Structure 1
């Protein structure tokens, strides 16, 4: 048993090193000169410099692109939490015809590749007149998170004792009051988990954004990175610096909320 545990730790350690190594190269390249990056061969910079990060910050128009990414990500997270928390409450607590079938229909959408919906979404948005706007990004992002969000939040709400709802109803509370005062506070870790799971892919989304947005003033950070790559002969140290700038907010968000994230997943699974 002890040998098996040691072997398991060894495998996980090797996997962790392989997974982290590209990220370390990105951090290393972000503080190297262009010549040192092209020379390659060593992870630790010989002459580390912050000039690459400063130059890249200015070229990337970070403040403008950051604001656009923040708007799209924030509205998406807000839409997901509002819409699907209500839907999940209905699936978990309320009784209505077809509840079970509708729930599993939502869950089954997890197995539909998102890329297959790209063309229909673009055509629909063009007909609605929202193609090329931030709203045209937010609505598909909200819709795309439906399966996983409904699955996790429904599980979290089901884990809350029914006696609490019955006691609230006995005191005269209506469903809206019960949802707001009982279920939302008790399932806060699950909502934070959903917020993180929604924010990270939305922040990093490229495909739909590239197809939809043509106005540089509406570019998000991934498109800003693309302009940095395609505007000149690629300077790989600046590309890695831009990638580091883009990914740091996501890492900070996860580290800040990781305790709630883990608890939210455990609560949803138990439910």
Structure 2
């Protein structure tokens, strides 16, 4: 007996094709994310807009795009309010913090990843556990220690706590990156007569460059923007960083909101440019450290 062909599915009961389902899922996820992105970006765009307006136009409100755009607000904020000196101070503190962080914790990450010594695993776990300790809980001990060391109120009194505060995350990322380096490369260098320092500098550091750049970014951005310890430590206006300069603008009796927005733009532009320039290495560094 010949079998009859199966009836075709009705139009109403047919399932949508896989491509249509994927498009529908992307739209369902993409629309809320796009709306959230617009809401998040709006204050930043308003800050950028206000930096190119005069005080009257900012107070009056109105459109996001300036009606009479001007560079006078930026130049006035940069020149008259000593922002160039604040910029140099922030650059000095951030650069010293990044350099010391890379030097110290690259060596520490190499030791945790490659070398064998008693208590290595427990010490590494201790560093990772420090990630969950809020920095504000050690603020008073840091101030007292800096006072006893004679560095309170100086830029070095900012750099040392910043370097210490980056230890947990830096050690975790760099240890993971160094563990991802093939063991055969180390063994080959050892056979050729290379010492530990040579293997560290010529084998592991070049291969861990994305992780090093990631650590540098994760150190530079919060150091550049840091306010609490800087506010508590520094009393000399000549040593102020950009965050304190920006706070001075907002603390005026009659704040000029266009200058305040221009100051905020000056603060964030270097961070944005730095991240955009190193974004590829940042993503690769995070992926490599997680795999390691």
Shorter chain as normaliser: what TM range?
A: over 0.9
C-alpha separation in 2, matches of 1:16 and 1:60: 33
Aligned to 1:211: 232
Q: CA deviation at 1:11?
A: 2.3
Q: Does 1:222 align with 2:238?
A: no
Q: Is the 8 A contact 1:118 1:208 kept in 2?
A: yes
TM-score by length of 1: 0.97
Q: Does 1:71 align with 2:92?
A: yes
CA shift digits 1:165-221 (9 cap, x unpaired): 111111111111000000000111110111111000100111000000001111111
C-alpha separation in 2, matches of 1:268 and 1:213: 36
Which ranges of structure 2 fall in alignment gaps of 5 or more residues?
A: 1-20
Count of residue correspondences = 271
Please point out which of 119, 123, 132 is paired with 1:98: 119
Aligned to 2:144: 123
Aligned to 1:199: 220
Please point out which of 183, 186, 191 is paired with 1:165: 186
Q: CA deviation at 1:15?
A: 2.0
C-alpha separation in 1, matches of 2:180 and 2:26: 32
Q: CA deviation at 1:232?
A: 3.8
Instruction: Name which structure has the greater RCO, CA cutoff 8 Å, separation 6+.
Output: 1
Greater Cα radius of gyration, structure 1 or 2: 2
Structure whose residues are more often helix by fraction: 1
RMSD: 1.0
Aligned to 2:10: none
C-alpha separation in 2, matches of 1:58 and 1:157: 46
Please point out which of 50, 53, 60 is paired with 1:32: 53
CA shift digits 1:47-88 (9 cap, x unpaired): 111111111111331221111111100000011000000000
C-alpha separation in 1, matches of 2:49 and 2:57: 10
Q: CA deviation at 1:45?
A: 1.3
Q: CA deviation at 1:42?
A: 2.3
C-alpha separation in 1, matches of 2:27 and 2:289: 31
